[in-house]
Structure 1
């Protein structure tokens, strides 16, 4: 819904979805996206949902299960999640959270996807989350902002939701490599629970950053989203190579077992021949 002062991705009604996407790809190397948004509705406590997502992805305008957009995407997703799916499921199954593992909602998280990962909505994206923070953003009387900054392969997300006009750190991940030529977008979806998800403004800034010759050398163009020195969550880690001793023991006992099997086979064969001779005579 395009209003005079904002774009409403979803109204406070069930089973609605909406999205806004840039039609021109972004070829900036260093950039900052400032988002002025508002989430509000009649739902109280956790009887609201589900939140909205901010995207920097290869594909645009494709609907799907991840806050109204496609799964197994290529690029970056920042999720403002207002409903704790995992907590409700665990309460229904009468399971407890382990200390330090509980998250307070609404919750903001970031995910980098190389196309092979699936966002686990039932677990609020926990298996693929690179970082996140609690952000009480619903039904506030003052303006709420979020900024995504990508500088020198470093991804940071900061929020201004307290009405103090001060940025507060939320996500800080070094070594994030995002290809250029992707699209910015934002999407939202409601199910049984709902909220008004309003985008007041999306402002993209090009950042001028000085680089040393060495940084220029290593700052090469990439073709798939990746995070340096970090296994993307959701992918099985490769098996560690066995040590020399372990390999020797495996080979040794394998040979012993083979010799033992041969000896047993010879004994059985000889007994069978003896039995055959007795029957013949």
Structure 2
């Protein structure tokens, strides 16, 4: 019985510790009113003291901020005046899209922004193209589908999507949103969301924590969040502005924002995570791979080989004077658009060297592709340089071994544990042996 009680206590203790460990990773949220927009919209206006500013056809009513009325060729926006300097945050958007148009005879949609630029009119749901930051779009009109119908083509079942559609995009100031393809080439992910002309409230949830972007929707009137997209490795700087925009064209809708509520998330980070984020600001963890190369002051020629074939990047070196290529890195899933420029650069600081280029020779490679591969590449047009499974590449890097002190204590505690188990075993055996002898008297 005492032994059973001991096991029960240990189990409860471990369970309790596990709960505390889980709590370390829980998030606390705090509403930040200076970044939020809600009734009665007293902080909206043109005064310098206002937290939010209207633009275009947007107007404030008692129940909502109407970005566009149900009229053709309108643009409207509401933008925060205060840059957000929060590391981790969560935005809950209460919105409404409604109008007289029937299905697919309405447009064009609305967007929630976290961008470097603000108060800029443009073609991307009422905001500028080539923006810098995050855009989450509620697209209500299928431009690509109508474009294919005009060409008497059809979607393949794999690529067809249902509208309205929610998608996210991250821009770096040079990436253009593709209207004809409804943003497919640059989207991070998305989901269909039937949000038009609903009698109940509709909500959009955007969370950015530990460089992970999560978007969810609540559009069924059940007060339950439904997953839309969840993307790791998203890098958004602090100091950008929140905003909401909408646009109509030949087709129209009312695009209303009832509230934008921003919550600051307090997330526990270990010292290792903090150090990794500090290092990441210097760009070190963004490397795909590499190798050592002793190339200074050699008498023989040195060469670098770079090959890009079928979205696979290979780098090799020839630095030993043996005219043999040595592997440096080989990474699949590298996406490089066409139309970019080649170049070579060098720099010196307090210390210096001669950096000479003897030749740069570019070879065109003729690679056979099957019809299926050709069709897949036609559908998956590359417009942004990227690498598939970047996080997996980082996880695949060789970790450092244990230090000598760590090995010493590991061995020490292992030995102490073994001795403890032996002592317990001897005590139990002696009690059993004594009780066994008593049965004979």
TM-score range, shorter chain: 0.7 to 0.9
Instruction: Pick from 133, 137, 143 the counterpart of residue 201 of structure 2.
Output: 143
2-structure distance, mates of 1:229, 1:13? 49
1:60-79 aligned at under 5 Å gives the runs: 60-79=118-137
Partner of 2:276: 218
Q: Which is bigger in relative contact order (C-alpha 8 A, separation at least 6)?
A: 1
Partner of 1:269: none
User: What secondary structure does 1:219 align onto?
Assistant: helix
Q: Which runs of 5+ in 2 are unaligned?
A: 1-58, 289-309, 318-323, 326-362, 364-441
- Matches of 2:165 and 2:265 in 1, distance apart? 27
Contact 1:39 1:138 in 2 (8 A): yes
Distance (Å, rounded) in 1 between the aligned partners of 2:147 and 2:276: 45
SS in 2 for 1:69: coil
> How many residues of Structure 1 are paired with residues of Structure 2 in the alignment?
239
* 1:121 correspondence with 2:179: yes
Whether the 8 Å contact between 1:2 and 1:8 is mirrored in structure 2 is yes
| Partner deviation per Cα, 1:13-71 (whole Å, 9 max, x = no partner) | 00111000000000000000000000000000100000101100001000111001001
**Residue correspondence of structure 1 range 74-223 to structure 2 within 5 A:** 74-220=132-278
Partners in 1 of 2:279 and 2:197 — Cα distance? Answer: 42
Q: Which has the larger radius of gyration?
A: 2
Per-residue deviation at 1:98? 1.6
CA distance in 1, matches of 2:280, 2:254: 37
The DSSP-based 3-state class of the residue aligned with 2:185 is helix
CA RMSD of aligned residues (A): 2.5
CA positional deviation for 1:222: 7.4
Are 2:73 and 1:15 aligned? yes
**Residue equivalent to 2:313:** 240
How much has 1:100 moved relative to structure 2?
1.3
User: Structure 2 residue aligned with 1:3, among 54, 61, 64?
Assistant: 61
Assess if the C-alpha contact under 8 Å between 1:175 and 1:229 holds in 2.
no
Encode CA deviations 1:234-277: one digit per residue, 9 max, x unaligned. xxx98733779xx99xxxxx9xxxxxxxxxxxxxxxxxxxxxxx
Pairwise CA distance, 1:122? 1.2
Inter-partner Cα distance in structure 2 for 1:172 and 1:134:
15
Whether the 8 Å CA contact 1:179–1:223 is kept in 2: the answer is no
Distance 1:223 1:22, change over 3 A: farther
Output the CA distance in 1 between the equivalents of 2:143 and 2:281.
34
Gaps of 5+ in 1: 231-236, 249-253, 255-281
Give the drift of 1:149. Answer: 0.3
For residues 70-124 of structure 1, the C-alpha deviation after alignment (integer angstroms, 9 at most, x for no partner) is 0101100000000000000101101121221111000000001111210001111
1:55–1:76 CA contact under 8 A, matched in 2: yes
Q: Measure the CA separation in 2 of the matches of 1:120 and 1:220.
A: 34
The answer for the alignment partner of 2:111 in structure 1 is: 53
Give the Cα–Cα distance (whole angstroms) in 1 for the partners of residues 108 and 287 of structure 2. 32
SS at structure 2 position matched to 1:162: coil
Q: 1:121 to 1:11 in 2, by over 3 A?
A: same
For the residue of structure 1 that corresponds to 2:149, the secondary structure is: helix
Superposition pairs for residues 258-269 of structure 1, below 5 Å?
A: none
Q: Conserved in 2, the CA contact under 8 Å of 1:37 and 1:199?
A: yes
